[in-house]
Structure 1
């Protein structure tokens, strides 16, 4: 069970993992102060949390009790909204969300709530269904805007959810960008990863940082991983998409840019980051096939075909867990 002292950690998890735009310091302080009061004895908030060995919160389930007029579905006139269920990515797939949410629902029910509601993100919907929640087609959520009382002759438009709430319902995706090189004989150049036996051979590149555009990511990652500076203008070879899976909870969208043909001297000049790669290899396309998983080679083949034909590739089967 959570206590007022856990309020700041709960708000931090909500800000980092659930909001489309994390809270700044002022809003973090405001929300933490209010939640601490509401978690205190007599408050309307109930929460359960899990801690890492260092004492930091890694998972939480937060509910808020609110009064309604009594009805057969809520004879005591108390309903509960599941407000936040969040688990840090490093601690997912351990059953923490299920355990904490189950405890929260038991506590809310013990406190008299008999009507429960929530707004579920797509990836969390299966868990909520297992715990008894179901979509209600008769319900319609509406939001009253500040100027909603002003009469208008304009045609009625669909009511939009607040940005934060809508963002929690759409699939989450991470962006990445890569640079594809060949030697002067159109043989692909790849780096051997030290951190992945599943995907051993890779293009220079990686995940986008906040505020970066794909081409900026490709240039930065390429320079960090090889020491090579890639000049523009950018030439897109392929768009790569992958669905989430057991190895990663989000979908991925990547751009592969053409880095051109390297001379033998340029290939010899590559300086690897030993924390990420330990070898550079240049091979004809077909000789890469036995060294890579099928989906990795299919991506390499698509990118190479795009280079040779001048037509950008669309590769949408680089799914996680395969």
Structure 2
């Protein structure tokens, strides 16, 4: 996405109130959006065949029934000066996105002749206003344009990744033939796996009975450890400290000690991998356990039980993870699980 963060020249055209006239894009704008993406967003322009294919795909998605929404600013000659395109898709609902809708800001671009006039800000702001019921967004942006997105409420992180399957050996891999074709950095970054990262804190009472929290929103996983998803740009242990404070009112004390790494492969309803890092939360006194302050929006009970008694209260894979973590603490050998979520 190109940078167009602040107006430095008289923007034209303007409406009667002096604002940039932004309009909703229609299926007839599909080719113009594809061409502006090809020229000013992608590292290599599309061929005419790919322009046609992408146009044919995008046009029906720009209808009211489709999953694409776009807004544009027209130049005085009627061509497209700037546009922002968002693609909406369903996700599992969560506290931060209760409607289970997410949007990828797929294209934000301004023709070079019309940059530095605030057009990108205008089309992105209109797109976000239009998607008022969407609270989970993702995008890739340039360093130059990052300030604009921060001002609009986005936060940046290298944790957001996409994956494309390679048809050739990775450059530099053992035994692979050297690839003489240079790959642009963004293209290479786009080929890397995309994953969601989670952290957990395993705590017990002084008799080594695991502490678990009862979820109010996840009937499929009713009991689980303290923890949650990492925020963009957040370090794993910082995420543990934050989640512990938010969920229990307790301050996690380091130094960090990793007990287990849990990997989940992507599935049809989850188009990304998951990575869980489980840390040792130590042994809590009865007074500390009684003093836990739960967030009622997430949990309604904290309970300690002997390990064996947890088996009947949770899915088999959850108990297998809990048992592996208990073994890791007892033996001092970190656990590794790479079948999380497998059928």
Q: TM-score range by the shorter chain?
A: 0.5 to 0.7
Relative distance call for 1:319 and 1:184 in structure 2 (3 A) is same
Which residue of structure 1 aligns with residue 213 of structure 2? 191
Residue 288 of structure 1 is aligned with which of 291, 310, 316? 310
Provide Cα deviations, 1:30-60, integer angstroms capped at 9, x if missing partner: 76xxxxxx9xxxxx9553253698x9x7448
Q: Report the equivalent of 2:266.
A: 244
Secondary structure of 2:323's counterpart equals helix
Q: Compared with structure 1, are the counterparts of its residues 51 and 264 closer, same or farther at alpha carbon in structure 2 (3 Å cutoff)? A: farther
1:77-92 equivalences under 5 Å are 87-90=87-90
Corresponding residue SS for 2:231: coil
> Where in structure 2 are the equivalents of 1:245-260 lying within 5 Å?
245-260=267-282
SS for the counterpart of 2:59 is: strand
**3-state DSSP of counterpart to 1:317:** strand
Give the direction of change, closer, same or farther, for the CA distance of 1:86–1:245 in structure 2 (3 Å limit): farther
Q: 1:50 to 1:271 in 2, by over 3 A?
A: farther
Q: Cα distance 1:247–1:264, how it changes in 2: closer, same or farther (>3 A)?
A: farther
Q: Determine the structure 1 residue equivalent to 2:164.
A: 121
Residue 165 of structure 1: how far off its partner (Å): 2.0
Give the deviation of 1:7 after TM superposition: 7.4
Answer yes or no: is 1:159 the counterpart of 2:181.
yes
Name the TM-score, length of structure 2 as normaliser: 0.54
* Pairing 1:48–2:59 present: yes
Tell whether the 8 Å contact from 2:27 to 2:63 is kept in structure 1 after alignment.
no
**Distance apart, 1:91 and its partner CA:** 6.4
* Kept after mapping to 2: 8 A contact 1:295/1:317: no
Unaligned regions of 5+ residues in structure 1, if any? 15-26, 32-37, 39-43, 61-84, 93-119, 126-134, 141-155
- Which of these residues, 184, 204, 216, is aligned with residue 182 of structure 1? 204
Distance of aligned partners of 1:233 and 1:51 in 2 relative to their CA distance in 1, 3 Å threshold: farther
CA distance in 2, matches of 1:182, 1:7: 59
Preserved CA contact (<8 Å) 1:180 1:256: yes
- 1:15-164 matched pairs, under 5 angstroms: 47-48=58-59, 50=61, 58-59=67-68, 87-90=87-90, 121-122=164-165, 158-164=180-186
Deviation at 1:274, TM superposition (A): 1.3
How far apart in 2 are the matches of 1:181 and 1:289?
17
219, 228, 243: which one aligns with 1:206: 228
Partner of 2:242, secondary structure, is helix
Give the aligned partner of residue 2 of structure 1: 27
Distance 1:246 1:198 in 2: 18
Structure 1 runs of 4+ aligned residues shifted over 4 Å read: 5-8
Partners in 2 of 1:176 and 1:167 — Cα distance?
Answer: 22
Write the distance in 1 (CA, Å) between the matches of 2:91 and 2:28.
21
Q: In structure 2, what is the equivalent of residue 147 of structure 1?
A: none
Q: Following TM superposition, by how much is the alpha carbon of 1:262 offset from its aligned partner in structure 2, in angstroms?
A: 0.5
Q: Conserved in 1, the CA contact under 8 Å of 2:30 and 2:59?
A: no
Match of 2:298 among 264, 270, 276: 276
Task: Give the SS at the match of 1:302.
Answer: helix
- Cα deviation for residue 311 of structure 1 reads 1.1
Aligned partners of 1:305 and 1:259: how far apart in 2?
15
Question: Per-residue deviation at 1:284?
Answer: 0.4
1:87–1:244: structure 2 CA closer, same or farther, 3 Å change rule? farther
8 Å CA contact 2:30, 2:55 repeated in 1: no
**1:302 corresponding residue in structure 2:** 324
**In 2: Cα distance, 1:227 partner to 1:257 partner:** 18
Alignment size in residue pairs: 214
Determine if contact 2:27/2:60 at 8 Å carries over to the other structure: yes
1:167 to partner: Cα distance: 3.0
The aligned residue for residue 77 of structure 2 is none
Secondary structure class of the residue paired with 1:217:
helix
C-alpha distance in 1, partners of 2:320/2:191? 32
